[in-house]
Amino acid sequence: MHLRWQDQDYLYYITNRTRKHNIDNISRTKAYQHFYFDFPEIKWALIASVVSRNAGWNMTDLHLAPYKKMLGEAERKRLFMTYERANWLIFSDAFPQLIVYQLSIQHDYPLFYLLRKLRVSTFMIREWEHFWQTNNKDRLMIALIINEQNVIQAPVISQSFFRKKVFLSLPYMLQNALMLNAVILPTHSGELYGAFVHHFTDVTNRITLGKQLANQIFHPELYSKLIKFVLSVEHTGSRTDYEKFLDVTRPKGPMLRMVYPIIEHQDIIRNDWFYSGGMKKKWFKAVLAIPNEIGTSFYLKRKLLYAYYHLKNIVT
């Protein structure tokens, strides 16, 4: 593909702006959030910002006493790198797409052909072109959910190191069996909505989870509450961000930048998942989900985790 000199400038701008915001979980979360409020028609950006907040909370959970007691330092580092690598990869793929859309709006001309040079999947290039013609916001939202979950499948979920050291490890399998992990959608009132994460290694399950979360986030019953929280609570990576609105005192998790360094990532090989794995029609199928209050159940599980930690402290 022959590029005009303006296109070279665009690519330089896109690459540098992506690199600037792809520093850590905090910077990524903020970048998604700011983009959504500039371009609210791109609904996926809000979903990404909320899910990214949860990734940060999962990272700092690893510094809480029960996790430090039950997991060795190497295990906790590997879990952190799993969250960090997936968070970084999704941003490195998705944010250039968002900037290309922004440039297209500014110039009133579709520039999605640039995505080929940015190693974005053929699937998403077609979906952006379809969106430009139809303005089908929900289809684009689901397409981005499908794309990003496929982007992380080979380099993170199926990658031999992460598969052996993380997803086939006893701590992960127990966490999966007990559904200790959840994506939390917080509010100022202390109500916690969201969904539990189960069989995370299955790409179809993650896509279904993404669609369920999307339905909850944009449901009239929850949307304004969530937006109020997002706009007024700065993301620090600590669950204290939302736990301060709960009526029970809990051990405070650390702020992410106080416990984790900036990670330098390598991105040598990136294949087009659309050609290597293909697309399943069921991924576009709609799912039904209304706001689901999971706070009581989620914190009951965490209470049991702390009880186990204290018991283990007594007997060891």
Mean pLDDT of the chain: 91
Read off the pLDDT band of 65 (50, 70, 90): confident
Plot region of 104 (φ>0 → left; ψ -120 to 50 → alpha; else → beta): alpha
Burial per residue of 282-291, b for 16 or more beta-carbon CB atoms within 10 angstroms, e otherwise? ebeeeeebeb
pLDDT score of 123? 97
Token pair of 33, please?
A: 């959030």
Write down the domain spans for the chain. Answer: 5-315
pLDDT score of 288? 87
pLDDT digits (tens, 9 = 90+) for 266-296: 876 678 999 988 899 999 999 988 999 999 9
Judged against a pLDDT cut of 80, whether residue 111 lies above it is answered with yes
Q: Which residue has the higher pLDDT, 151 or 170?
A: 151
pLDDT score of 304? 80
Indicate yes or no: pTM above 0.75.
yes
Helix (H) / strand (E) element for 192: namely strand 192-196
Judged against a pLDDT cut of 90, whether residue 199 lies above it is answered with no
Calculated CA dihedral for residues 59, 62, 65, 70, nearest 10 degrees = 160
Residue 219 CA to residue 216 CA, distance in Å, equals: 5
pLDDT score of 305? 76
Judged against a pLDDT cut of 80, whether residue 179 lies above it is answered with no
C-alpha pair distances (Å), 247 with each of 6, 57, 188, 243, 244: 55, 19, 11, 8, 8
Q: Which residue has the higher pLDDT, 316 or 81?
A: 81
